[in-house]
Chains A and B, each alone.
Chain A
Amino acid sequence: MTAEIQSNDTSPSAIAKIFKSLGLLRESPIAIFGLSLILFWVILAILAPILPLYDPNAPLEPFKMPLSDARDGGLYWLGTDHKGRDILSRVIFGAQQVLIWATTATAVAYIVGMLMGVVAGYLGGWWDEVISFISNVLLSFPVIVLYIIIITYLGATGFNIVLAVTFASAPGIMRIVRGLVLDLRTRDYIFAAQTRGESAMYIMLVELLPNARGPLIVDACLRLGYTTITIAMLGYLGLGLPPPDPDWGKMIAETQPLGSFAGHMAVVPAAAISSLVLGFNLLADGLREISMKD
């Protein structure tokens, strides 16, 4: 149905639209900086397989400090860890992991949360009662308890992490969408759609959701940052993805028993995660600023 409404629309192509919205970003240096941080990690993660890196899981020489020479004539830019694995390589492959799972988990949580929110907000009545109650029950769990229960009960796999993030985030997303929809549904164009006999499905998907996108994009950015933290935190607590694949949180956890002389092993992944999250938060801030000015 969306396609149908677009058919008569000869406005610029999708690519041109993306460029136009990127142009909008220029108005906020904060957003640009945030986006650069994110792109930095995204590009590294994509290029990881073709970059001249050591195998992230190969035991080489343990406890090398940053910038020390490797036996094979290479350089350990960021040193190696207690098992002799190259930290630079582990951080970059770790970025791949965290970006894939954070994006997937946030996207799934968004789809579920948006559908719940738009149904609760637009259809109201019993739909609203039931959906809101389920959300309230889920929201009454401290998020970490939800994670611990789901992951100890179902096991630590990528899929279960996505599931846990969905359970933890969808109720919050639902509340935001529901609030936006409650406001939007009183608009005359919704009234107009109703008076020409449009189906509820059409009104929800074509008339309502596109107009809620502004605040949702900002929220999605913040949530991506928060999910990144969550995944790393689960890794840190030993509830994350199973070994041996590198995981930023686990990298910090592994260092702890080792004490002071392994400082670089923990600082590097800690800085990595902070910069990525900062990127998401700044982008969200900048986007909010831009949308407020319009």
Chain B
Amino acid sequence: MSPDPKIMEEQTPILECRNLCISYDTRGGEIPAVIDFNMKVMPGQGVGIVGESGCGKSTVALAIMQYLGSNGYIKSGEIFFHGRDMRTMSEEELRALRGSKIAMIYQEPMASLNPSMKIGDQLAEVPLFHEDVTVTEAKARALELLEAVKLPDPKRIMDAYPHQISGGQQQRVVIAMALLSKPDLLLLDEPTTALDVTVERGIVELVKEISAEFGTAMIYISHNLGLILDTCDRVTVMYSGEAVEDGTVNEVFDEMCHPYTSGLFASIPLPGADKNERPLVPIPGQLPLPHQRPQGCFFGPRCAFFKAGTCDQEKIPMRAVPGEEGHTVRCARFEEIDWAEGDHEAVTVKSVKSGKVVLEVRNMKKYYELRSSSVLAMIRGDAVKTVKANEDINFNAREAETVAIVGESGCGKSTFAKVLMGLEEATDGAVILNGEDLAHVSVQKRKARTVGHLQMVFQNPFDTLNPSHSVGSQIARVIRKFGVEKDPNKVREKVNDLLDLVKLPRDFAHRRPRQLSGGQKQRIGIARAFAGNPAVVVADEPVSALDVSVQAAVTGLLTEIQNDLRSTLLFISHDLSVVRYLSDRVVVMYLGHIVEQGTTDEVFSPPYHPYTEALLSAVPIADTSVEQKQIILKGDIPSAVNPPPGCPFQTRCPRKIGSICETEMPPVKELSSGHNILCHLEDDVLNAMEPVIVTHSEEKIA
């Protein structure tokens, strides 16, 4: 590119959306998905769009690509690309732009690649159809880009089919595809949501590096505020189809003016504040459905600063914040809001004194036998492979204590939960609940009371309830099954009590699961788990599938009930921010091993296990005053079927000392009473570790 047009471009934005309205036609009539949306992207700039599911952020991206499906259409407004309205372009002109000037990176890399076409061919198509090149040149370009996105062995990947490489690698291929023709604008739609945190970190760094190198402008769509902070210059916050606040990242993150933005930040746990100083404050209510949006401000019904007569009349326009050029907000009252007066109930986590040991896991092992049915394997005699899903699990949990189990996919946390619940038998070791060893007792053989004492809250709210039965009957079934009550009237009473407990109206008993929102379903899931006065509740990522603003409320509810009933909570999660906020003790798992455990403070401050250190560095944090050490793990998590020899983490460990890591399983090192790590590192190295997360404002060690 010659310098002249570059200067020209400095004045005109690459992309501009003006008063954009997008609607979908459905049987129920027109549904406005995006209303009055404005955005400007300057060359080289990173612009974030953040919001919860259904807010219209992905629709904006697809509208820019002019790919809204058969029932979606741009109702009014313009989209200018380099000053030309894209709506007036012909199909052929659009085709020439797509993939060459504007490229897109998608949420699910696996689904986005053609399963029956070699990766090399899929990549080569881009230059072949946008530039005048031969097939050989196109292939050479593709190979070059695969190298640029740091894929190992790019030649092999050129010849591979998408299913033959891992999710992280697939996403790198999609990125390479998007960058092949050096686009002016890159659209990223939740590009890392489907990936593990440590893999996500690598992708995000790559995107940042490459956009800096190529000078590509970016629109980064995400529900994760931390990722936006990490990648963007400007950010637009969307709520229910509208932009509610727009400005530079610092303006929006530090001087937010819209109650929704402020609510979002208040409902995510940040490392800068702990549960006592800055408790989580959930946003009450739920996102309105498009055809149920209220008059006036869409956020009105959930807003602590709602004022009848002002907020529920006319449509609220975007207004500039005085003194901050380019910072706009869609709130009628933002100048007059006294932020201190908001009266939403905070999530209080009382410091409860933990009691006696309730659950004791000793040397628990769970191996699976994986039978290969291929004749060849039978001939070679390796038809049965052992998968070591859990290796030597040791820990205790006390009454009223919250123990977090942290790890990424394949770490063995789900297997552990299955053994605990009696759906799988442990291969070896003991799982002792209130003095009774359950390691080899399947759930069918456990006493009803024991089963009721050990219950679970599940991850996916859309799956947790049986869609064929009413909510009440499902809770009632649990009550009867655990022998809490038998008499029909008493059962009904108990159902009502449990609905009260999870703060849902009693007439929800008659509803079908599909009439409930995700958060409400998860509350029913909690009610069901607590029906038998459990001693231990296992919560498997209970909020990870929920929207940010609902997460805090559900988490709060869960811990509140747990505190009141003095149950032990095993909180399985990959989200270190939530873990840090909630738990008393933390167990970090990697490939079936516990690599570190200790109290929350011990685990979150040095010395760390190198994996914990990397995990802490990988978690995106939505706080401008926080600085994170950069540790990028290379590669992907190995498969549990073929674990590396020696230390399980050695293939990715940035602190690997040498051959000892590859050959010998590290010892369990006791750093202080109850704080153990599984590592070969010498004490002096461990002691010299620096904190990963540093908060600038107070210089507080995280």
Find out whether the CB atom of B458 lies under 8 angstroms from the CB atom of A198. no
Q: Is B455 an interface residue (CB 8 A)?
A: yes
Find out whether the CB atom of B478 lies under 8 angstroms from the CB atom of A196. yes
Which residues of chain A have C-beta atoms less than 8 A from B460's C-beta?
A: 188
Give the residue of B27, B463, B464, B477 whose beta carbon is less than 8 angstroms from that of A27: B27
Give the residue of A9, A195, A197, A199 whose beta carbon is less than 8 angstroms from that of B473: A9
Task: Compute how far the CA of A164 lies from the CA of B21 in the bound complex, rounded to whole angstroms.
Answer: 60
Q: Known contacts A192-B456, A197-B443, A197-B448: does B464 contact A8 (CB below 8 Å)?
A: no
Give the residue of A8, A197, A207 whose beta carbon is less than 8 angstroms from that of B451: A197
Q: Is A136 an interface residue (CB 8 A)?
A: no
How would residues 176 to 207 of chain A score, 1 for a CB under 8 Å from any chain B CB and 0 otherwise? 00000000000111011111111100000011
Find out whether the CB atom of B510 lies under 8 angstroms from the CB atom of A210. no
Distance from A204 Cβ to chain B, minimum over Cβ atoms (Å)? 13
- Nearest chain-A residue to B464 (Cβ)? A188
Task: Compute how far the CA of A164 lies from the CA of B488 in the bound complex, rounded to whole angstroms.
Answer: 46
Which residues of chain B have C-beta atoms less than 8 A from A194's C-beta?
A: 421, 423, 443
Report the contact-size class of chain B (Cβ under 8 Å from the partner): 35 or more
Find out whether the CB atom of A211 lies under 8 angstroms from the CB atom of B481. no
Q: Known contacts A191-B458, A192-B464, A195-B451: does B491 contact A8 (CB below 8 Å)?
A: yes
Extra pairs beyond A8-B476, A8-B491, A194-B443 (16, CB < 8 Å): A4-B477, A5-B473, A5-B476, A8-B470, A8-B472, A8-B495, A9-B510, A191-B423, A194-B421, A195-B421, A195-B443, A195-B451, A195-B456, A196-B443, A197-B448, A211-B467
How would residues 439 to 467 of chain B score, 1 for a CB under 8 Å from any chain A CB and 0 otherwise? 00001101010011001101110011111
Distance from B583 Cβ to chain A, minimum over Cβ atoms (Å)? 22
B-to-A contact residues, CB < 8 Å: 27, 421-423, 443-444, 446, 448, 451-452, 455-456, 458-460, 463-470, 472-474, 476-478, 480-482, 488, 491-492, 495, 509-510, 512, 525, 528
Task: Compute how far the CA of A38 lies from the CA of B314 in the bound complex, rounded to whole angstroms.
Answer: 54
Task: Compute how far the CA of A213 lies from the CA of B448 in the bound complex, rounded to whole angstroms.
Answer: 31
- Nearest chain-B residue to A212 (Cβ)? B468
Q: Is A293 an interface residue (CB 8 A)?
A: yes
Which residues of chain B have C-beta atoms less than 8 A from A195's C-beta?
A: 421-423, 443, 451, 455-456
Which residues of chain A have C-beta atoms less than 8 A from B27's C-beta?
A: 27, 293
Q: Is A152 an interface residue (CB 8 A)?
A: no
Find out whether the CB atom of B470 lies under 8 angstroms from the CB atom of A189. no
Task: Compute how far the CA of A187 lies from the CA of B464 in the bound complex, rounded to whole angstroms.
Answer: 7
Q: Is A10 an interface residue (CB 8 A)?
A: yes
Q: Is A7 an interface residue (CB 8 A)?
A: yes
Task: Compute how far the CA of A168 lies from the CA of B663 in the bound complex, rounded to whole angstroms.
Answer: 59
Which residues of chain A have C-beta atoms less than 8 A from B443's C-beta?
A: 194-197
Give the residue of B423, B464, B473, B492 whose beta carbon is less than 8 angstroms from that of A189: B464
Which residues of chain A have C-beta atoms less than 8 A from B512's C-beta?
A: 11
A-to-B contact residues, CB < 8 Å: 4-11, 27, 187-189, 191-199, 206-207, 210-211, 213, 293
Which residues of chain A have C-beta atoms less than 8 A from B481's C-beta?
A: 196-198
- Nearest chain-A residue to B538 (Cβ)? A195
Find out whether the CB atom of A188 lies under 8 angstroms from the CB atom of B509. no
- Nearest chain-B residue to A195 (Cβ)? B421
- Nearest chain-A residue to B511 (Cβ)? A11
Distance from B333 Cβ to chain A, minimum over Cβ atoms (Å)? 40
Find out whether the CB atom of A196 lies under 8 angstroms from the CB atom of B463. no
Distance from A1 Cβ to chain B, minimum over Cβ atoms (Å)? 9
Distance from B525 Cβ to chain A, minimum over Cβ atoms (Å)? 8
Find out whether the CB atom of B444 lies under 8 angstroms from the CB atom of A197. yes
Shortest Cβ-Cβ A-B pairs, 3 listed? A210-B468, A188-B458, A188-B463
- Nearest chain-A residue to B507 (Cβ)? A10
Distance from A7 Cβ to chain B, minimum over Cβ atoms (Å)? 7
Give the residue of A11, A188, A196, A197 whose beta carbon is less than 8 angstroms from that of B470: A11
Distance from A108 Cβ to chain B, minimum over Cβ atoms (Å)? 24
Task: Compute how far the CA of A191 lies from the CA of B443 in the bound complex, rounded to whole angstroms.
Answer: 12
Distance from A97 Cβ to chain B, minimum over Cβ atoms (Å)? 36
Task: Compute how far the CA of A57 lies from the CA of B16 in the bound complex, rounded to whole angstroms.
Answer: 81
Which residues of chain B have C-beta atoms less than 8 A from A11's C-beta?
A: 470, 510, 512
Q: Known contacts A8-B470, A9-B472, A197-B446: does B455 contact A188 (CB below 8 Å)?
A: no
A–B complex contacts, Cβ < 8 Å, 9 sampled:
A7-B473, A11-B512, A188-B459, A192-B525, A196-B451, A196-B481, A197-B451, A210-B468, A211-B466
- Quick one: which of A10, A192, A211 has the most chain B CB within 10 A? A192
Distance from A210 Cβ to chain B, minimum over Cβ atoms (Å)? 4
Task: Compute how far the CA of A199 lies from the CA of B442 in the bound complex, rounded to whole angstroms.
Answer: 12
Give the residue of A6, A10, A207, A213 whose beta carbon is less than 8 angstroms from that of B510: A10
